[in-house]
């Protein structure tokens, strides 16, 4: 056969080849109208559980992503397939930016509408927990846990009548599922709120370790990581009905009244709460109608309950876990995160539900907003302050400094932080740094004044000389002389030796010296624990730990009431005996050398401080209050003064190095008042 090739044949052949190339090219491009495309289509979470029109999504970086329709975030919110089924993944680290006033990160849905507990509402979910944090403190109830579903109040205190937890200790195969009811605290102060916990499978919230790394036995009826479970939450006529199911486990049901409290009296408090929450000062009662007057809404996802905050701050909610300084990828790399997968979710609410926009307006970005100390303790306009770097601040309203003076939340309350290193810039007559308020008003003892404070000392220097009375201590409140010798008729101390769990609270009276002020001395009175004169025999030899002492992070209250020349002192702390003292500020008891107490002869006389006092003490002399953190531990050589020169580490005055190595003091106040003296009760 003879094939004759002409120019037209060649042209036709080339056209055919071009068409095939073009067709192939078209197949490799994405075309939403071409159902035969070869490009893999993204499976969004909204393709798996198509309910996102009902929710805003809060991410582990604290941001509000809005309605998560056709949305994913590779760090926090995406889909995964376990070989059988597509799941929606909610993932969040131990530390990131949080939402609202919480200490904990979350990747969690929050409902766009709120509803009355008297109406009908329903939430169902099928899920499996894939990871909880690998580090933390086993004594802290919240450690190693994640909340996978909630009912949250949008109003009032914004408390939570339902939190569904999963918790698994390291080394265990099985974890526990339990749910908590948080009281809707009576009154305006929500700091006394607490949770009561109900076990579903395994333990309840109150089962904790006996030491930081010592865990309770593994629960026999627990749930393993990766094991499927379902929950159903039904609200009807003020009652909450819960149902929990999982293959191979007993189905559990519960009922809780949301509109009539069973905890309206202190006598109603369960033993579990007394064991867990009362020791940290959370001992409130609930309003009689519980959540009846508030709008409620559902939440769902991964609300990581393990954080990096020091357990000394709050022994229930602060986990002390690894956070790698907030580096999310490092936390993900070594298991310090919570991850929950959902394959089914559904929500039903009443047509009477209304917008929940107010909740988001109040809480979106709140963690990034500055809350100034003056918003927590409003009397700041009555004080000025000297900070640990020597900076004087005259106007403290809407002021903070991240190194010295700022606010924090301890899990339940907001506090004002006063922090100062062992070595910085001091006032002209002092060897010690301070971040301390200085009252602007001056008054005489006869005119009087009153100062109160609720505080907890979070840190005292870990270095110093145990023979030096001032070592390892800080002053948290003072009356300071404003003329004459400018001595101090009152200094309230906290002191804790290294290695001790408990420290001492004591107060000192400094004489208003007759003649030369070089002879001045303090007389120290113990409140809880030792007085100032109890010291070590050598630099590193510490006295016995006080049996009735106060721990770091343990709250105490003081009141200084000066009325008609008499100073009345009151000290209170939960679990400790209330102590009161009276001191005459206008008539001295130390006018002769024979009046000098033996305590003073022991610690002050050897350094030449053995004077006597003016007969009228501080009568007619102006003074003023001070409050905050006045660090008594310094780096000066003890050989120069064995009472006040502590010989502590100062790293050449490098403040960040001192902070990093525990060579500083830090005091938190949550309430304080200042005003006129009042007749004593």
CA gap 410, 413 in Å, rounded: 6
Provide the pLDDT confidence category of residue 6 given band limits of 50, 70 and 90: very low
Whether 28 maps to a domain, the answer reads no
Task: Check whether 20 has a pLDDT greater than 60.
Answer: no
Same domain, 355 and 409: no
Task: Check whether 638 has a pLDDT greater than 80.
Answer: yes
Average pLDDT over every residue of 555-582: 97
Task: Check whether 17 has a pLDDT greater than 60.
Answer: no
Sign of CA dihedral 331, 333, 335, 340: positive
Task: Check whether 1 has a pLDDT greater than 80.
Answer: no
Q: Look up the pTM and report it.
A: 0.79
Residue 351: predicted pLDDT: 93
Task: Check whether 28 has a pLDDT greater than 50.
Answer: no
Residue 38: predicted pLDDT: 53
Same domain, 584 and 631: yes
Reduce the DSSP state of residue 380 to 3 states and report it. Answer: helix
Among 368, 389, 411, the domain boundary falls at 368
Residue 15: predicted pLDDT: 42
Same domain, 193 and 311: yes
Task: Check whether 13 has a pLDDT greater than 50.
Answer: no
Name, in order, each residue with C-beta under 8 angstroms of 465's C-beta and a sequence gap of 6 or more.
Answer: 471, 536, 539, 638, 646, 647, 648
67-123 pLDDT, tens per residue? 999 999 999 999 999 999 999 999 999 998 888 888 899 999 999 999 999 999 999
Whether 463 maps to a domain, the answer reads yes
Average pLDDT over every residue of 39-44: 80
528-553 pLDDT, tens per residue? 999 999 999 999 999 999 999 999 99
597-620 pLDDT, tens per residue? 999 999 999 999 999 999 999 999
Whether 624 maps to a domain, the answer reads yes
CA gap 658, 461 in Å, rounded: 9
Whether 616 maps to a domain, the answer reads yes
CA gap 356, 352 in Å, rounded: 12
Q: Are 182 and 161 in contact (CB under 8 A)?
A: yes
Q: What is the CATH number of the domain that holds 283?
A: 2.60.120.200
Same domain, 390 and 337: no
CB atoms within 10 A of CB 371: 17
Give the HSE-up count for residue 132: Cα atoms under 13 Å, Cβ half-sphere: 32
Same domain, 406 and 523: yes
Instruction: Report how many domains make up the chain.
Output: 2
CA gap 209, 215 in Å, rounded: 4
Burial of 270: CB neighbours in 10 Å, binned 0-12, 13-18, 19+: middle
Average pLDDT over every residue of 234-258: 98
Q: Are 178 and 205 in contact (CB under 8 A)?
A: yes
Helical H segments across 134-188, by residue range: none
* Nearest residue to 161 via CA among 136, 128, 196: 196
Q: What percent of the chain has pLDDT over 70?
A: 94
Residue 60: predicted pLDDT: 95
Domain hosting 129: range is: 45-368
Same domain, 337 and 402: no
Q: Are 249 and 221 in contact (CB under 8 A)?
A: yes
CA gap 454, 37 in Å, rounded: 68
Same domain, 95 and 217: yes
Whether 39 maps to a domain, the answer reads no
Reduce the DSSP state of residue 545 to 3 states and report it. Answer: coil
Average pLDDT over every residue of 182-201: 96
CB atoms within 10 A of CB 266: 9
Same domain, 355 and 385: no
340-386 pLDDT, tens per residue? 999 999 999 999 999 999 999 988 887 778 999 999 999 999 999 99
Same domain, 330 and 386: no
* DSSP label of 651: G
463-520 pLDDT, tens per residue? 999 999 999 999 999 999 999 999 999 999 999 999 999 999 999 999 999 999 999 9
Give the strand pairing for 239-245 and 502-510.
Answer: unpaired
Chain-wide mean pLDDT for the chain? 93
Provide the pLDDT confidence category of residue 411 given band limits of 50, 70 and 90: confident
Among 327, 344, 368, the domain boundary falls at 368
Task: Check whether 37 has a pLDDT greater than 50.
Answer: no
Average pLDDT over every residue of 625-644: 97
Name, in order, each residue with C-beta under 8 angstroms of 227's C-beta and a sequence gap of 6 or more.
Answer: 128, 246
Reduce the DSSP state of residue 473 to 3 states and report it. Answer: strand
Residue 35: predicted pLDDT: 45
Same domain, 420 and 352: no
Task: Check whether 5 has a pLDDT greater than 50.
Answer: no
Whether 430 maps to a domain, the answer reads yes
Residue 30: predicted pLDDT: 41
Name, in order, each residue with C-beta under 8 angstroms of 236's C-beta and a sequence gap of 6 or more.
Answer: 120
Among 312, 342, 368, the domain boundary falls at 368
Same domain, 275 and 397: no
Sign of CA dihedral 52, 56, 58, 62: positive
| DSSP E strand boundaries for 519-584 | 522-528, 550-551, 556-563, 566-572, 579-584
CB atoms within 10 A of CB 253: 11
Whether 7 maps to a domain, the answer reads no
CA gap 441, 677 in Å, rounded: 13
Residue 39: predicted pLDDT: 56
Residue 678: predicted pLDDT: 97
Whether 24 maps to a domain, the answer reads no
668: left (phi over 0), alpha (psi -120 to 50) or beta: beta
CB atoms within 10 A of CB 9: 11
Same domain, 132 and 58: yes
Provide the pLDDT confidence category of residue 125 given band limits of 50, 70 and 90: very high
Q: What percent of the chain has pLDDT over 90?
A: 88
Task: Check whether 32 has a pLDDT greater than 70.
Answer: no
Burial of 84: CB neighbours in 10 Å, binned 0-12, 13-18, 19+: exposed
Task: Check whether 4 has a pLDDT greater than 50.
Answer: no
Task: Check whether 2 has a pLDDT greater than 50.
Answer: no
């Amino acid at each position: 056969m003879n094939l004759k090739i002409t120019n037209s044949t060649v042209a036709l052949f080339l056209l055919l080849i071009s068409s095939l190339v073009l067709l192939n090219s078209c197949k490799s491009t994405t075309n939403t109208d071409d159902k035969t495309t070869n490009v893999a289509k993204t499976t969004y979470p909204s393709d798996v559980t198509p309910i996102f029109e009902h929710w805003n999504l809060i991410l582990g970086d604290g941001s509000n992503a809005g309605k998560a329709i056709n949305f994913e975030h590779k760090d926090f919110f995406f889909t995964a397939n376990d070989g059988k089924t597509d799941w929606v993944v909610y993932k969040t680290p131990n530390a990131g930016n949080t939402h609202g006033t919480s200490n904990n990160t979350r990747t969690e849905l929050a409902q766009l509408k709120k509803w009355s507990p008297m109406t009908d509402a329903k939430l169902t979910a099928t899920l499996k927990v894939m990871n909880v944090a690998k580090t933390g403190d086993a004594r802290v109830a919240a450690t190693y846990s994640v909340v996978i579903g909630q009912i949250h109040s949008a109003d009032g205190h914004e408390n939570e009548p339902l939190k569904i937890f999963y918790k698994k200790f390291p080394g265990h195969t099985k974890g526990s599922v339990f749910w908590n009811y948080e009281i809707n605290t009576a009154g305006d102060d929500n700091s006394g709120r607490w949770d009561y916990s109900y076990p579903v499978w395994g333990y309840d919230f109150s089962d904790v370790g006996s030491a930081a790394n010592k865990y309770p036995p593994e629960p026999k009826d627990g749930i393993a990581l990766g094991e499927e479970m379902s929950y159903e939450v039904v609200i009807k006529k003020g009652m909450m009905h819960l149902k929990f199911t999982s293959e191979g486990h007993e189905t559990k049901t519960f009922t809780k009244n949301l509109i009539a409290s069973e905890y309206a009296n202190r006598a109603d408090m369960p033993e579990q709460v007394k064991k867990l929450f009362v020791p940290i000062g959370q001992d409130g009662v609930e309003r009689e109608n519980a959540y009846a007057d508030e709008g409620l809404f559902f939440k769902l996802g991964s609300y990581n309950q393990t954080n990096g905050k020091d357990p000394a701050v709050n022994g229930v909610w602060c986990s002390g876990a690894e956070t790698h300084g907030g580096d999310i990828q490092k936390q993900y790399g070594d298991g310090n995160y919570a991850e929950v997968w959902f394959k089914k979710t559904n929500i039903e609410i009443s047509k009477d539900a209304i917008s929940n926009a107010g909740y988001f307006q109040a809480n979106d970005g709140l963690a990034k907003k500055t809350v100034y100390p003056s918003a927590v303790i409003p009397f700041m306009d009555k004080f000025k302050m000297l900070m640990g770097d020597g900076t004087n601040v005259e106007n403290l309203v809407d002021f903070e400094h991240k190194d010295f003076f700022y606010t924090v939340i301890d899990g339940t309350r907001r506090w004002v932080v006063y922090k100062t290193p062992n070595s910085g810039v001091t006032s002209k007559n002092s060897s010690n740094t301070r971040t301390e308020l200085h009252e602007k008003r001056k008054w005489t003892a006869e005119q009087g004044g009153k100062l109160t404070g609720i505080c907890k000392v979070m840190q005292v220097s870990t270095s110093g000389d145990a023979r030096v009375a001032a070592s390892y201590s800080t002053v948290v409140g003072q009356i300071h002389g404003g003329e004459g010798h400018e001595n101090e008729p009152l200094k309230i101390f906290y002191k804790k030796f290294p290695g001790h769990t408990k420290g001492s609270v004591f107060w000192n009276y400094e004489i208003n010296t007759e003649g030369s002020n070089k002879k001045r001395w303090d007389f120290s009175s113990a409140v809880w624990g030792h007085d100032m004169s109890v010291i070590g025999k050598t630099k590193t030899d510490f006295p016995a730990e006080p049996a009735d002492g106060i721990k770091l992070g343990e709250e105490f209250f003081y009141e200084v009431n000066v009325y008609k020349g008499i100073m009345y002192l009151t000290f209170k702390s939960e679990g400790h005996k209330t102590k009161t003292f009276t001191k005459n500020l206008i008539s001295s008891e130390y006018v002769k050398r024979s009046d000098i107490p033996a305590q003073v002869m022991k610690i002050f006389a050897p350094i030449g401080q053995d004077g006597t006092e003016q007969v009228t003490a501080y009568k007619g002399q102006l003074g003023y209050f001070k409050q905050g953190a006045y660090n008594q531990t310094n780096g000066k050589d003890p050989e120069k003064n064995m009472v006040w020169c502590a010989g502590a580490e100062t790293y050449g005055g490098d403040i960040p190095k001192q902070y990093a190595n525990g060579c500083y003091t830090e005091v938190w106040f949550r309430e304080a008042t200042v005003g006129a003296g009042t007749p004593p009760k």
